[in-house]
Amino acid sequence: MTEKKNVITAFGMSDIKDYDKLIKEFGVSPMTSLVRYMPDPIAVYRRGIVFAHRDFDMIIDAMEKQIPFVVMTGIKPSNFFHFGSKIVVDQLAYLQKHGGKVVFAVADVESLADNEMPLKEADAIARDNIMDCIALGLDPKKTEFYRQSEDLTVLRAAQVFASNVTNNMLKAIYGLHELKIYNAALVQMGDILKPQLENGKVRTVVPVGFDQDPHIRLVRDIAKKHKLVPPAGTYNKFMGSLTGSAKMSKREPEGLIFLNESAELACRKIKKKAFTGGRNTPEEQRQLGGQPDICKVYELYKFGLIEDDKELTELYKRCAGGKLMCGDCKNLACKKMTAFLNQHHKKRKQAALSVNRILKTKA
Ligand code: TRP
Ligand code: SF4
């Protein structure tokens, strides 16, 4: 029997096969046991989409005792947001609602290094991403957005932290890379510790995909060296491509539902491109039932297209019990996606008004 192998690299994508094994291998803690201590956890927590953490207990404690805490994350402005991008933004909005101060890095140094995205182009995409963030519920008045490429605290910190790492450490943590990639990693250390460097020690949580764990391990190490609070991390699963390949990727736009695309286009992708867990014939499906666990339409529901847990369970049972046919199910997904996108686009229009204030245009 061949063993499923997990490959985690911060730069260059990971294809994650077995999340339970990841938890053991990387010494992170499972999230499931903590969720019950969270106030009104949202779907991504309830459904195990945020599946692991380091030190998140201290953030739950802060929420409970109303101790100030920071929620820090960064996103590369290398692509428009898609339905899977919602996973992190939903967490930011939730943690903000429960007292966290949200700091959001437009990771343009990283998109330049990693994706060869010119800073100017990155800017246009960052604006679009920020509109999505606001439309998804981030309060722009309570969120600090900044660009890596022009934040002095971050850029100076990167230089200072360079003294805390050796080439061997970098190679061990990230693998062998060009200087620009290591530089981007150091800039990310600056991002994550910026709130503490500017305002003193504060509990910080970084919600990210699991591919970012190498960064979290390194930043915890650096924080200790500088007598700062080692940041907590929460790790979410990735949403797969609609077509069935492992991760949603820019190279395969038909597998992604972008948050700025029309409902018509989104529906076409759901109906024509989605990989389902359906059987060969309706008779077979009635007899054997569908397979929601491998179905990408079901994944859309689970990752947020259905908010209500009961409704989700009900749909799961009807599928697995052969009571629901894929055609009808896709029509339902399309209907829900249309309602979501139409609402979302209205909110994006509103958000567009504040985006110029948030990110000043560069000459
Ligand atoms: N490296 C992250 C990515 O690949 C982006 C990022 C930059 C980030 N700075 C950060 C994430 C700080 C969390 C915290 O998308
Ligand atoms: Fe997927 Fe729906 Fe078909 Fe079940 S009925 S396999 S959930 S598309």
Closest to 290 in 3D by CA, of 308, 269, 274, 307: 274
Report the nearest-CA residue for atom 8 of ligand 2: 326
- Using the predicted structure, report yes or no on whether residue 22 has a pLDDT greater than 90: no
Distance from the CA of 279 to the center of ligand 2, in angstroms? 9
Query: What pLDDT, on the 0 to 100 scale, is given for residue 6?
Result: 55
Three-class HEC string of the chain: CCCCCCCCCCCCCCCCCCHHHHHHHHCCEECHHHHCCCCCCCHHHHCCCEEEEECCHHHHHHHHHCCCEEEEEEECCCCCCEHHHHHHHHHHHHHHHCCEEEEEEECHHHHHHHHCCCHHHHHHHHHHHHHHHHHCCCCHHHEEEEEHHHCHHHHHHHHHHHHHCCHHHHHHHHCCCCHHHHHHHHHHHHHHHHHHHHHCCCEEEEEEEHHHHHHHHHHHHHHHHCCCCCCEEEEECCCCCCCCCCCCCCCCHHHCCECCCCHHHHHHHHHHHCCCCCCCCHHHHHHHCCCHHHCHHHHHHHHHHCCCHHHHHHHHHHHHCCCCCHHHHHHHHHHHHHHHHHHHHHHHHHHHHHHHHHCCCCC
81: pLDDT confidence band, cut at 50, 70 and 90?
very high
- Using the predicted structure, report yes or no on whether residue 76 has a pLDDT greater than 50: yes
Report the nearest-CA residue for atom 5 of ligand 2: 326
Q: What is the pTM of this model?
A: 0.94
- Using the predicted structure, report yes or no on whether residue 4 has a pLDDT greater than 60: no
Ligand nearest to the CA of 79: 1
Among 23-32, 243-252, 307-316, 351-360, the range of highest mean pLDDT: 307-316
Distance from the CA of 90 to the center of ligand 2, in angstroms? 25
| Structural domains of the chain sorted by starting position, each given as residue range(s) with its CATH number in brackets | 19-237 (3.40.50.620), 253-349 (1.10.240.10)
HSE (side-chain half, CA atoms, 13 Å) at 247: 16
- Using the predicted structure, report yes or no on whether residue 2 has a pLDDT greater than 50: no
Ligand 2 test: best mutation among 297, 317, 323, most atoms within 8 Å of CB?
297
- Using the predicted structure, report yes or no on whether residue 15 has a pLDDT greater than 90: no
Kindly give the interhelix angle for 179-199 and 167-174, rounded to the nearest 10 degrees: 100
Distance from the CA of 278 to the center of ligand 2, in angstroms? 6
Ligand nearest to the CA of 298: 2
What average pLDDT does the structure give for the chain?
93
Q: Name the burial class of residue 236, with classes exposed (0-12), middle (13-18) and buried (19+) by CB atoms within 10 angstroms of its CB.
A: buried
- Using the predicted structure, report yes or no on whether residue 248 has a pLDDT greater than 80: no
